[in-house]
Amino acid sequence: MPIAEIEDVRLHYELSGAGAELLVLSNSLGSSVRMWDKVIPALEAHHRVLRYDTRGHGMSSVPALPYTLDQLGRDVLFLLDDIGANRVNFCGLSLGGITGQWLGIHAPQRVARLVLANTSTCIGTREMWDQRIATAKGVGMDALASAILERWFTQPFRDHHPEEMTFIRRMFASTDPIGYAGCCGVLRSTDLRSEINSIEAPCLVIAGSHDPATPASDSSALSAALPNSQYIELDTSHFSAWERPDEFAHAVLAFLATGEQTNG
């Protein structure tokens, strides 16, 4: 179980694949590296793939609150330094997409291409995040799980994949409530609308046509604000890399294939 230690946090990561270029995968709120399981085989056939658990999630440690977006971004930079990676491609979904935007704004020399999936420059409302934080801390993650599954997946997908829903529910419910609350706090305070047009890296924005958490209209607006962006909309809800893995992986690989070698 590879672990990178930086100051007050230990970051769990997995490195696989044998390609020349490194693709970093950043998980959503309330998930772990396992959220990428269905796209990993396709991605690692063409790239080295680094997936990691955001602080407070999965097998990474749960440092004291509060967390900041600056910390999440610098965690990635430390992890890249730890494994000796200079310039990489980066793919983040939801919270991971917010982290990707931070990297594009504050560490442009480290990212060649960005995939921003089911995300926006700001997500949700302060009241919504306050309620999530209070529930996670006061009652626990199980109290949020059913509503989260309804937001993450379309009804037909949930109906036809009960075993997968059980797995996803367990992944979400096993997230430390303090770690979850800390990252809810990051999203509560994040608004990148005034900075997003400074990202120079080519970007692919992936939206879900049925996504209530980050609606396609928000993703479309994000793409329009980026100076060098492509936009694709999949027939999915919020967890697009799981619900439509083949289409997701194909879109990512096609986008990355248009770039030059980025790292060594």
Per-residue pLDDT tens digits for 157-168: 999 999 999 999
Rounded percentage of the chain residues whose pLDDT exceeds 70: 98
pLDDT in the model for residue 262: 41
Give mean pLDDT, residues 197-201. Answer: 97
Per-residue pLDDT tens digits for 211-237: 999 999 999 999 999 999 999 999 999
pLDDT in the model for residue 122: 97
Contact 51, 25 (CB under 8 A): yes
Q: Which parts of 94-231 fold into alpha helices (H)? A: 95-106, 126-138, 142-152, 155-160, 162-173, 177-189, 216-225
pLDDT in the model for residue 19: 81
Domain 3-257 indexed as CATH 3.30.200.190: no
Q: Which two tokens stand for residue 138?
A: 């006061």
Helix axes 95-106, 69-83, angle to 10 degrees: 70
Burial of 225 (0-12, 13-18, 19+ CB in 10 A): middle
Would you place residue 20 in the very low, low, confident or very high pLDDT band (cuts 50, 70, 90)?
confident
Contact 119, 219 (CB under 8 A): yes
pLDDT at 88 over 50: yes
pTM across the whole model: 0.96
**CA 182 – CA 71 distance, rounded (Å):** 11
Per-residue pLDDT tens digits for 148-191: 999 999 999 999 999 999 999 999 999 999 999 999 999 999 99
Give mean pLDDT, residues 95-105. Answer: 98
